[in-house]
Amino acid sequence: MPYVIIISLLLLSYTTQSQATLYELDAIHHPVIGSDGMVASQHPVATQVGMDILERGGNAVDAAVAVGFALAVVLPRAGNLGGGGFMLVYDSDTKSTKAINYRESAPAAATRDMYLDDKGVVDSDLFNQSYLSIGVPGTVAGLCHALEQYGTMNLKDVIKPAIKLAKKGFSVTYDLELVLKKYENRLKVSAESKGTFYKQDNYFNHGDILRQPKLAWSLKQIAKKGKKAFYQGAITDRIVSDVAKHGGILSHSDFSNYKVSVTEPVMGSYRGYEIASMPPPSSGGVHLIQMLNILEGYDVGSFGQNSAAAIHLMAESMRLAYADRSKHMGDPKFWDVPVEGLLSKDYANELRSQIKLDTVNISSTILPGQPQDYESEETTHFSVVDKWGNAVSNTYTLNFSFGTGLIAEGTGILLNNEMGDFAAKPGASDAYGLIGGVANAVESHKQPLSSMTPTIVLRDNKPVLITGTPGGSRIITTVLQIISNIIDHNMNIAEATHAPRIHHQWYPDKLYYEHGLNVDTRNVLRSRGHIMEQRAAMGSTQSILIRDGLLLGASDPRRPDGATMGY
């Protein structure tokens, strides 16, 4: 009896503090709860690395950088030193959000038609799976810059856990065992990759210890000399030498000239919330806000989450935004991107007028609009919040799983195939079916278009939701659905994460859906003209919701090993 009283009192105190947040008795999905700090990432070891930093007094950026380096070791298919990405940082002191662009860039020797054969046809192997597929990596520069500008700890301390994991090893999970078997043809092309991820002619099985001594060497170089080790040091020498030996075009000057850029995020509003997301060369933020602007004209919440009516409106909004993506989006240093026009509420009104509530628009009848004034499945995202209210939303990638699958000799570093995110031939689709135009054509020093959409949703200039996801072309629409599930349908973050997802990207003219979407709903959508096709799981969101003074987190169950921890 005494134990029952104690438990009852505890429940009473919790529900008094936050009746709707902690114990939603009508909910079947519940978030991880914390009050002083939280980390959500795609690997439990990396999440724990970030939590350890927070518990030692580090801030959100310190923890995020530690997670970024740790994922390069324990999640080799997406975490990386040889790739690039985007980071949003919210500073609670200044109540401002900054966008850090550390996307890969084209080598100086890159040319527009470099992936076309003598008949003008794109050579897909050359484009996606060769030493010519490699862009100048930005991850090390981006993480180091974030730490220097917004962190409180030194690089040696935040990179130390990653060095230990690479040197002493970590336990192989079921997921890593499976993906190493799945991608062995890609990884065994390179002797360095084969020697790293396979035991002679045998596989690593779950529970085995995977050690990466060459990657540990590279991490130690960075710990000692900072980003110069990667861009003007021994690591640079090894990467450039290996790439040149195999016909690639990366040069020392490509590395030494690489620059991180820090800008303001693109900003929008949705039903009283502020939306902060990535500007070009990510297409994510612009089209996320564009779709929200369209949806804001409807009472989406009254339709019901994942009802035929709600899905129809989302799909039509997606179709219109992705049509614009094909024409207007590219690296703003090389192309005049009409950001203000695409974000305009007036432009959203024009687009909304094209939507029919009872039938679809056929994609062939939709052309990119004229506003006044564009990644792989195996990207990865992590979100961090600290006790001071600072927040980080970060998405980075190698593009394909394990990038090119090529490890630069002597470095342990997997190299990206981000050149595949350019439009090798304007009007042709990329590996994910996305159509690109002249705006995203290959050009020396240019950054390829991305779908990465790290996002922070604010209320009264304070973060309420930190989210993002991998998923290639489905990144933007996945983030859209997380936000709508929270704001329109009042779901908790676990419910919002677990709900089945849909996706439309203009071409191909199909409405993709996940397993679990109601069959009656699918039939109604077909009756309206949607061409329905079931696809594999979409995205792997790592999200933190801030509500009633608590941190509520959820790692997507769509991929193994995701972990959210809070304290």
Catalytic residue among 97, 173, 236, 379: 379
Residue 101 placed within a domain: no
Closest of 452, 552, 563 to residue 88, by C-alpha: 452
Distance in angstroms between the alpha carbons of the first and the last residue of the chain: 30
Residue type, 459: R
Residue 497 placed within a domain: no
Q: Cα–Cα distance between 545 and 566 in angstroms, integer?
A: 12
Decide: 544 and 552 in contact? Cβ < 8 Å: yes
Instruction: Identify the helix (H) or strand (E) that includes residue 399.
Output: none
Residue 17 placed within a domain: yes
Give residue 26's domain range: 2-30
Render 189-219 in DSSP notation, one character per residue.
TSHHHHHHHSBTTBPPPTTPEE--HHHHHHH
DSSP-derived 3-state class of residue 567: coil
DSSP, res 304 = -
Per-residue pLDDT of the chain (567 residues; tens, 9 = 90+): 333 333 333 333 333 344 444 557 788 999 999 999 999 999 999 999 999 999 999 999 999 999 999 999 999 999 999 999 999 999 999 999 999 999 999 999 999 999 999 999 999 999 999 999 999 999 999 999 999 999 999 999 999 999 999 999 999 999 999 999 999 999 999 999 999 999 987 999 999 999 999 999 999 999 999 999 999 999 999 999 999 999 999 999 999 999 999 999 999 999 999 999 999 999 999 999 999 999 999 999 999 999 999 999 999 999 999 989 888 888 999 999 999 999 999 999 999 999 999 888 766 665 555 444 334 567 999 999 999 999 999 999 999 999 999 999 999 999 999 999 998 876 655 554 555 568 889 999 999 999 999 999 999 999 999 999 999 889 999 999 999 999 999 999 999 999 999 999 998 899 999 999 999 999 999 999 999 999 989 999 999 999 999 999 999 999 999 999 999
Decide: 356 and 429 in contact? Cβ < 8 Å: no
Q: Cα–Cα distance between 543 and 563 in angstroms, integer?
A: 11
pLDDT of residue 5: 33
Q: Taking each helix axis as running N to C, give the angle between helix 213-225 and helix 234-245, from 0 to 180 degrees, rounded to the nearest 10.
A: 130
Q: Cα–Cα distance between 195 and 259 in angstroms, integer?
A: 32
Decide: 474 and 538 in contact? Cβ < 8 Å: yes
Measure CA 137 to chain center. 16
Q: Cα–Cα distance between 274 and 91 in angstroms, integer?
A: 16
What are 374's two structure tokens?
């564009």
How many other C-beta atoms are found inside a 10 Å radius of the C-beta of residue 252? 14
Q: Cα–Cα distance between 458 and 310 in angstroms, integer?
A: 24
pLDDT of residue 200: 84
Residue 290 placed within a domain: no
Residue 14 placed within a domain: yes
What are 200's two structure tokens?
């002679």
Residue 20 placed within a domain: yes
Q: Cα–Cα distance between 470 and 160 in angstroms, integer?
A: 26
Closest of 379, 362, 402 to residue 504, by C-alpha: 362
pLDDT of residue 3: 35
Q: Cα–Cα distance between 450 and 415 in angstroms, integer?
A: 17
379 belongs to the catalytic site: yes
Residue 492 placed within a domain: no
Residue 23 placed within a domain: yes
CA angle, residues 405, 257, 442, in degrees to nearest 5: 60
Q: Cα–Cα distance between 51 and 62 in angstroms, integer?
A: 10
Rounded to two decimals, the pTM is 0.93
Instruction: Identify the helix (H) or strand (E) that includes residue 13.
Output: helix 2-17
Total number of domains constituting the chain: 1
Decide: 444 and 112 in contact? Cβ < 8 Å: no
Decide: 247 and 223 in contact? Cβ < 8 Å: no
